[in-house]
């Protein structure tokens, strides 16, 4: 089970760190990703991190502003979100995948079998 938390209301330009904790699984066995869904839009890829953390991938829209990291000892994955914009407003979901670390598809939602319940981030201008 994945449990996302840390969402809330922030102002444009501020920072926020989400977290996603996992229980009941061998956390380090999974590629972990974050996706988001804005009102009326499809769910989009945000960031992903491989098992050891040696490789990360970001959507162009968040590259340079967001940083994904993981702590396998705490079974937790974090996206640090800086310089937030109004267009970052969305429900953010964490997800876990058994895709290989070398996979070309870790930005593809279909490879993620396990999903958290989502946490709402609202960026007010």
pLDDT at residue 26, rounded to an integer: 79
pLDDT at residue 10, rounded to an integer: 97
Compute how many other C-beta atoms are within 10 angstroms of the C-beta atom of residue 45. 21
Helix, strand, coil percentages (3-state) for the chain, rounded to 5, are: 5, 50, 45
Angle in degrees, CA 110, 113, 118, rounded to 5: 90
pLDDT at residue 119, rounded to an integer: 97
Low-confidence spans in the chain with pLDDT less than 50: none
pLDDT at residue 46, rounded to an integer: 98
pLDDT at residue 25, rounded to an integer: 62
Paired residues of 62 in beta bridges: none
pLDDT at residue 23, rounded to an integer: 83
CA-based Rg of the chain, rounded to a whole angstrom?
A: 13
pLDDT at residue 58, rounded to an integer: 97
């Amino acid at each position: 089970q994945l449990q996302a938390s840390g969402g809330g209301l922030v102002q444009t330009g501020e920072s926020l760190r989400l977290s996603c904790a996992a229980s009941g699984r061998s956390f380090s066995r999974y590629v972990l990703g974050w996706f988001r869904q804005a009102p009326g839009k499809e769910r989009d890829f945000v960031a992903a991190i491989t098992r050891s953390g040696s490789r990360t991938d970001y959507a162009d829209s968040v590259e340079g502003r967001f940083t994904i990291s993981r702590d396998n000892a705490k079974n937790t994955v974090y996206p640090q979100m800086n310089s937030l914009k109004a267009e970052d407003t969305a429900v953010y979901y964490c997800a876990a995948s058994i895709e290989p670390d070398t996979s070309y598809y870790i930005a593809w939602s279909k490879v993620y079998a396990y999903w958290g319940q989502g946490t709402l981030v609202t960026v007010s201008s």
